[in-house]
A = this chain, B = another copy of it.
Amino acid sequence: MLSDEQKLLVEKIGLMLESEGLSPAVSRVLGLLLVSDKVELTFDEIRETLNLSKSATSNALNIAIKLNRAEYITKPGDRKRYFKSKIELWREHVMDGFCKKCSWSKMFEEVLKHRTKETKDFNKAIKDLVNFLEYMGKELPKLYKEWESKTK
């Protein structure tokens, strides 16, 4: 099913996704869906290739689907589900992650509102951070749109 190189790649992607907080099984399932020559894989193909139990496979797939990183399709006259990566959404996931960080500015603004006014330097550092996050929060969507228009 997978060459040795492909297996290594699945593990590498696995580690990358684990570092993002995903569990080992979910990470490897998503890795497999990226690496496999077949774009659509059945439950059992995934289970066998990754040496997972049925329950682990089921849970991992459902989590991946809930995270909007995988989906499944069906085929007429075939009871199997065919699972595939939602690769087109990775871009948006990345952007969402960026924007989430930028929205922290609200939190820091609230901190600032409740801080003593005595600690000028410290407060200024927070204010700088707020400004920076707001700047990014405004510029990142612009950048995204620019890229979209460039690639159309």
CB-CB contacts below 8 Å: A93-152 with B: 94, 97-98, 101, 104, 107-108, 110-111, 114-116, 118-119, 122, 125-126, 128-129, 131-133, 135-136, 139-140, 143, 147, 151
In the assembled complex, A87 has its CB within 8 A of some CB on chain B:
yes
With contacts A35-B114, A143-B139 taken as known, whether A101 is within 8 angstroms of B94 at the C-beta atoms is yes
Chain B residues with Cβ below 8 Å from A139 are 143
Determine if A37 and B104 form an interchain contact, defined as CB atoms under 8 angstroms apart.
Answer: no
A116 touches B37 (CB 8 A): yes
In the complex formed, the residue of B with least CB distance to A121 is B39
A window 1-43: CB within 8 A of B? 5-6, 9, 12-13, 16, 21, 34-35, 37, 39
State whether A125 touches B87 (Cβ < 8 A).
Answer: yes
- Known contacts A9-B114, A88-B125, A107-B13, A94 near B39 by CB under 8 Å: no
Q: Report whether B97 and A101 are in contact in the complex, using a CB–CB cutoff of 8 Å.
A: yes
* Chain B residues in 8 Å Cβ range of A116: 37
Q: Is the CB of B34 within 8 A of A126?
A: yes
